[in-house]
A and B are shown apart, each in its own frame.
Chain A
């Protein structure tokens, strides 16, 4: 079974993010790292291929400046190869443009299953995976908290607010996984060294031959600071704190 994992390479979350004042989008120059939320998808894919007893995991990414550092992390974990689309014309790309690019890159691999995170952690809409599924003509299942492949069917426990639904659909399909679907392995030293020899195919938009090309049509008109969270209510204990906390929780209907 061949699985594609969409991997976003993002500015290191440890260093504070910056917005480009002219485009009002996130500055992505400099070193990028693999988005932590994609580590779960990579691990899930490696486990599914392992269980299937054959096939390989391919990482697909779109990133500026031919950045491969984040892909190397996934290759070090055990993915077989990667495809990177890097093109100046994609600067500031919106979700739909990115979906078109990724879908075109994924088609080249002809996978049985495509895995993505439910959303990325830097700048995100959470809409990309389903747009991509539509462009690929694949069914999609979102918010998977467990994934199993049975022959030509993928079976998923889909996280909901109340619990989870058991759903399934035929392959090929797109599945988005939540954090916690599996525990990602650590890239090992041997894995890192082996990753250096693994192929990363570097493509431009022209190489992808997308029908009608791509044009970045989204414009960010304004950016405002998120509303500060309201201060919580402080209960000072005068012997009856437990009762007041219970009352408060009852009001909120949580108990």
Chain B
């Protein structure tokens, strides 16, 4: 076991921290309350090469692994940018993974370099009103007509759709009832978003409002066959490929969000004087914060183990799932305790902890709920019977 800090990782942390240091709480508070995409921040991240860090070098990216990408996202969140910052860059950092892994050479060289420099924005459209956790229930349909598909259907929660040129869209090319297995018959398309056949409406939501998540209707949208990722009918399998690294990145984001909240809470506990002493002197205030730190530290170790296994080509389903569960839980606990520590001011927008709290809450729901992680662990790690 070797925990020697890696100089590259330290340098990445330091550089991302410096960059994020220029985007203060007032910036994020304004982006959140005005529902404004953080373009300046996005530009700075792209120019620094951070957005393309995990895209292969031959396509203009940094060619690094999930470990480095997770460090970048953790630092973004921990800077106080929290999920507003992470979600702004997450899709560009990792969203194109199915294209990297399964796209044709033509597709990769056409799109990846533009994503790596932050010029092309691609959303991810999987969830539908009647297909969330159960992805196989999707009904958005693509019918082949000569050299293109025609897509009709409805997606929900497609994040950043208003600002994206394209969307990686999961569609049914074969209806469920004609499939031997529920996981068959789905195909991944790299479709255009800003077209008359597409209607995009932002969904009013609790937090992370700098990045809108949208309801998107597709009404006869043509998509060239050349814009299909890999083979027809293999879309679900391609998504599965990306689940573990996705969980690791999400865990890192939750960890960073928790760290930002805890830092605020500790400072406030030192500064706020009640009954003639700083509130942090009371064990009733101090211990929950110490506990939050302990939980975050444990989650961090789980993340590091999972990302190390993934980058070394080892199976990491258990580790990635546990990392996601532990970090989402620890991040939420830290954010909730930060609000509690601030008393009434925790409920005021000015102190930022409520923003972390709203964003930390999200991490227990999306992109995968805590329950479904438990379901994975129960079935695949403990060998209990499958529940669905």
Contacts and interface: CB of A to CB of B under 8 A. Distances in A.
A229 interface: no
B14 A73 contact: yes
A192 B53 CA distance: 12
Contacts of A187: 11, 14-15, 18, 48
Contacts of A73: 11, 14-15
B8 interface: yes
Contact of A189 (B7, B15, B44): B15
B19 A186 contact: yes
Given A190-B49, A192-B15, A69 B62 contact: no
Interface residues of A, number: 16
B44 A192 contact: no
Majority-rule SS of B interface residues:
helix
Nearest to A36: B18
A81 interface: no
Contacts of A190: 49, 62
A186 B62 contact: no
B300 to A, nearest CB: 17
B48 A72 contact: no
A3 interface: no
A69 B53 CA distance: 21
A188 B44 CA distance: 10
A128 interface: no
Interface in A188-215: 188-193, 195-196
Interface in B4-20: 7-8, 10-12, 14-15, 18-19
A188 B48 contact: yes
A33 interface: yes
B53 A189 contact: yes
Which of A31, A72, A186 counts the most chain B CB atoms within 10 A?
A186
Interface string A200-243: 00000000000000000000000000000000000000000000
B357 interface: no
A239 B19 CA distance: 45
A168 B49 CA distance: 39
Given A69-B7, A72-B11, A73-B11, A189 B62 contact: yes
B50 interface: yes
A6 B31 CA distance: 39
A14 B76 CA distance: 17
A192 B8 contact: yes
Nearest to A31: B10
A15 to B, nearest CB: 13
Interface string B47-60: 11110110000000
27 contacts: A69-B7, A69-B14, A73-B11, A73-B14, A73-B15, A76-B11, A76-B15, A186-B15, A186-B44, A186-B48, A187-B11, A187-B18, A187-B48, A188-B47, A189-B12, A189-B48, A189-B52, A189-B53, A190-B49, A190-B62, A191-B49, A192-B8, A192-B11, A192-B15, A193-B8, A193-B62, A196-B8
| List of 9 A-B pairs having minimum Cβ-Cβ separation, nearest first | A189-B49, A187-B15, A188-B48, A186-B19, A188-B49, A192-B11, A189-B62, A190-B49, A186-B48
Interface of A: 31, 33, 69, 72-73, 76, 186-193, 195-196
